[in-house]
Amino acid sequence: MKDRSLLMIPGPIEFEPEVLQALGAPTTSHVAPNFIDAFGCALENMRKVWLAPEGQPFIVAGSGTLAMELAGANLIEPGDRALVLSTGVFGDRFEDLLTRHGADVTVLHAPIGEALDLNQVEDALKGGEYKLLTVTHVDTSTAVRMPIRSIGELAQHYNVLSIVDGVCSVAGEEIQQGDWGLDVVLTASQKAIGVPPGLALLVASPRAMEASSARSSSVRSYYADWAKWLPIMTAYEGRKPSYFGTPAVNLVAALDVSLRQIVDEGMSARFARHELLADAFRAAVQSLGMGFVATEPKDQANTLTACRYPNGVAAGDLLPAIKQAGVIVAGGLHPKIKSEYFRVGHMGAVCMGDILATIGAIETGLRSVGHQFEAGIGVATALKWQAEQED
């Protein structure tokens, strides 16, 4: 029997075998020709995945929080005003981070489970004299998705730089960084990008690069300073070696493989696959008598779902039962509603078979804790949903 559960948390996710093979290959020198080529190709493919032909990609060893720090540290100078749009825990993290870098931060908090109202955002931007705003595309604590295209338009209109935390969205949710005028779109390797944890990734617009070079004070982080990393990215893209900090050689090689797979799938096909699987999953969850933290369909992410426990079912009972049935899902994260919901990631290499296995395990878990429903209804609903889309 295969001694492995299906990992359906919102990152790290299940990875493609070819990606893991690249990760496990013998480590080369960071100036070896094959590594220089892998690094260069990864940078080029980031522009395609982010749909940001003019953007400057950065690949730096670290987690998603470092990607947030790379954006904040380079664009904020002490006293700059920043507007944080928060739809959960990760929005709040930006408040903390930008404050640490000396920003004067205003936060707009959405009610839990809702996206922020665009009129409210526009009212804040009017006369707010903000240098930048941050928006969490999909907040992993609530599974709420923000309409970043409209946020980008507002930011452009009010001449404010926009930073998108796309840790739970890049390569899963539609993002057209270039056309939508977004200044920084950042992520981490372990989610829809499909590479084990350890890489902070971002693409900065020409406007963001100009803003960072026009600073009057030096960047308050040594490791996160774009000026240290830009020559490295430029060199590798020009297929020349360079050094500031030793790159995570195996992770970059794995990233190269994963980005090639993503580009081969095609961005619109990839976005459509995520949408179809998310819709099928949610239809199945609803058929089992559960609701969602994000109540409005337009606010529901395609990369993960936050499912509310049915009445009378407790986290401590259901999650181990789902695990026992072979699938690992994640508990609640938002401190105010932590015990009321669980989270299921469906991004990256996810396929219909994974969705069906997950629904099957949730059904098994629900039955074992005494929840009443028609046996098989969840799996049948997901399959029916898929069939309807194909007709």
Is residue 155 helix, strand or coil? helix
Q: From CA 296, how far away is CA 144, in angstroms rounded?
A: 9
Strand pairing report for 81-86 and 132-136: parallel
Beta carbon nearer to ligand PMP, 136 or 300: 136
Using CB atoms, what's the residue nearest to ligand PMP?
Answer: 64
Is residue 89 helix, strand or coil? helix
| DSSP structure class, residue 339 | G
CB 14 within 8 A of CB 170: no
Is residue 110 helix, strand or coil? coil
Per CB under 6 A, does 59 bind ligand PMP? no
| Least distance from ligand PMP to the Cβ atom of residue 180, Å | 18
Stretch that binds ligand PMP, among 23-31, 38-46, 62-70, 174-182 (CB under 6 A): 62-70
Stretch that binds ligand PMP, among 29-37, 58-66, 170-178, 323-331 (CB under 6 A): 58-66
Per CB under 6 A, does 90 bind ligand PMP? yes
Footprint (CB under 6 A) of ligand PMP, residues 9-28: 11
| Least distance from ligand PMP to the Cβ atom of residue 68, Å | 6
Beta carbon nearer to ligand PMP, 63 or 156: 63
What angle (nearest 5°) sits at the alpha carbon of residue 109, between those of residues 106 and 112? 165
By CB under 6 A, name the one of 45, 56, 74, 136 that touches ligand PMP: 136
| Least distance from ligand PMP to the Cβ atom of residue 140, Å | 3
| Least distance from ligand PMP to the Cβ atom of residue 84, Å | 13
CB 327 within 8 A of CB 290: no
Stretch that binds ligand PMP, among 34-42, 162-170, 277-285, 289-297 (CB under 6 A): 162-170
Per CB under 6 A, does 65 bind ligand PMP? yes
Beta carbon nearer to ligand PMP, 319 or 347: 347
Stretch that binds ligand PMP, among 69-77, 136-144, 225-233, 322-330 (CB under 6 A): 136-144
Footprint (CB under 6 A) of ligand PMP, residues 188-217: 188
| Least distance from ligand PMP to the Cβ atom of residue 330, Å | 10
Beta carbon nearer to ligand PMP, 164 or 325: 164
Per CB under 6 A, does 106 bind ligand PMP? no
Per CB under 6 A, does 255 bind ligand PMP? no
Structure tokens, 181: 């005028």
State phi, psi for 38 to the nearest 5 degrees: -65, -45
Per CB under 6 A, does 140 bind ligand PMP? yes
By CB under 6 A, name the one of 49, 110, 148, 167 that touches ligand PMP: 167
By CB under 6 A, name the one of 92, 165, 299, 363 that touches ligand PMP: 165
Per CB under 6 A, does 168 bind ligand PMP? yes
Binding site for ligand PMP (CB under 6 A): 11, 63-65, 90, 136, 139-140, 165, 167-168, 188
